[in-house]
Structure 1
Amino acid sequence: GKVEFCLGTEEMHMPTPPDLSQENFRVFSSVEKSKLPSSQLGLVISSYYQTIDVLQTSNQRSLKVQSLHSLGSLLLFADKKRAAFKCWSQALDDIFRKPDVLHNWKEFGTSLPGAPSSSSPPGFKDYSEEFLSKFGIWGCLQAAMITAKIAQFIKTANVKKRINCCILSALLFQSLLRTTLPHPKAERNYAQYEITQLLPGIELFSDKFRADICSVIASLYYVIRELHYAKYNLIVLPLLALYQYFVSVICQDIVRNLEARILKIEILIDLGFFSEAFYELFQIYHGKNMPCAIPAGYKATMKVKLLPRGFCPV
């Protein structure tokens, strides 16, 4: 049959999503959605600013941080780096409830001495437990992603400031390992440690606006690579365990799993952990601890063994 559309009819937006089972699909907008034109980007940005003001007035700090985070990403897309940096810095200050966090985070309360190693920054201290107790899981995760983005997109010319942001992001990511589960505290203990369960009873990525799995993985991997290039390899080991958990257990991504494990071998060799590096290489060679290629709920196809030509079973 012939399909025709009513060209003069426009779609009316309702306060609730439409019931697609009752949709007639008579207008183009019901079957095709065009991307937002660049001319409307300013309107979206101004709407974000107004929303943030409302959230500030109503004391919705968590939603305000999420909005500032999203607005910063949008401003970066619009090539407004200074405005993006301002939004992300304000979001960090709201999480920490302290001004100028990027420069003053090392003065945050007490701290725990980290494991001494030449691969750790001078005077390195572990603030991850205190971060978790003060900001909670979602606050640490938001702050970790924001600081990683500042390091990647804003502090591109200043290596010292970029590494400082990456260290802060690493500590915030490590806060996820300071929950009730007995994960190791010393970085070197993660040389052969694999996370099988992170936060029981909590769907970490149930709300993509609060924690988007793609953004988390991208930010975490950037921090891992940057600290590895700067030779802060010991700090990277817990982050690699966390990254492998995300890409293997949650995403079931074989390619990223192998990529992370090969990088882990390089880091272990740089640290002089040769037996651990050989063990990891042995595991990869034999296909151990690989993500399942068949999604849960699917039945594996039965392998049919071909008999030799001319063979006649009795």
Structure 2
Amino acid sequence: MSLYWRILLLNAAVLVVAVLLLLGPVTVSTPVLFGEALVLIAGLVVMLIANAVLLRIGLAPLGRLTRAMAAVDLLKPGGRAPVTGPGEIAELTSTFNTMLARLEAERATSSGRALSAQEAERQRLARELHDEVGQTLTAVLLQLKHAADRAPRSVREDLRHAQETTRGGLEEIRRIARRLRPGVLEELGLHSALRALTGEFTTSRLSATAHITPGLSRLAPATELVLYRIAQEGLTNTARHAGATRVEVHLRPLSDGRVGLLVRDDGHGIGAVPEGAGISGMRERALLIGADLHIGAGPLGGAEIRLNVAGGPAGARSQENAR
């Protein structure tokens, strides 16, 4: 039973007992006159209604606080419960808002550490794939070539096929290493990295293009990495799940001085599918640099990912604040 009904029924019980006492031993007339009983019953009804209305008004701030607490999502920061009601309820709401702000800050800090550790692990795996597995497969290719050159004609064709299979595996490992550690992002910057990324996702069934406004200034390294990873995740989701034939990546300045990243496809959209690990990861990355992330349906169907981040030195300041 809710607090509202417990208080209402308790007050109603007190009022009913009071009226019964007035109708019984504590009455002004014996026997009870019809007019007196009618007045007392009418007074009881009026008091119960007034009690219900006043309780509903008095406990409304608690109801709003409950709904705000139920809707809290640390990956979507900024939501706060309005501070209203009597002193105790207003103090409770203010305390909740303070606690929520502290949780958001702690979540941003912990997410930053986790993502930094993740990037370090990706770089380690990329180096091992490139330096160890890649070199091993290169040596295997050379051995196969040497064997094919000296082998009899009957087995030479099989060795050539083994060479091609090994060469394909080597290219796949190099592609995975590039995705784990985007060297082009470190060497040539975000613009070239996004163009190279869309080129990797372009196939016979999917056309991926990058549209970058000329003259955009460089952003903080951590901000560029977040933009690259979110574009990469958006393209990956499009290629795997959207059933799209075209996807576009836009990087452009916004009217308020920020920089906007837009990934839009012509697939069947997100629909009512719950958010998975990929989208949650994008929200954590956006939270890390203080960016606004919106994921929903595009104007012409399909899915749309919008990320707006402060440009230039502001982007760097946002990153420092997130740390």
What TM-score results when the alignment is normalised by the length of structure 1? 0.29
Q: Write 1 or 2 for the structure with the bigger share of helix.
A: 2
Q: Write 1 or 2 for the structure with the bigger share of strand.
A: 2
Which has more radius of gyration? 2
What TM-score results when the alignment is normalised by the length of structure 2? 0.28
Q: Higher relative contact order at CA 8 Å, sep ≥6: structure 1 or structure 2?
A: 2
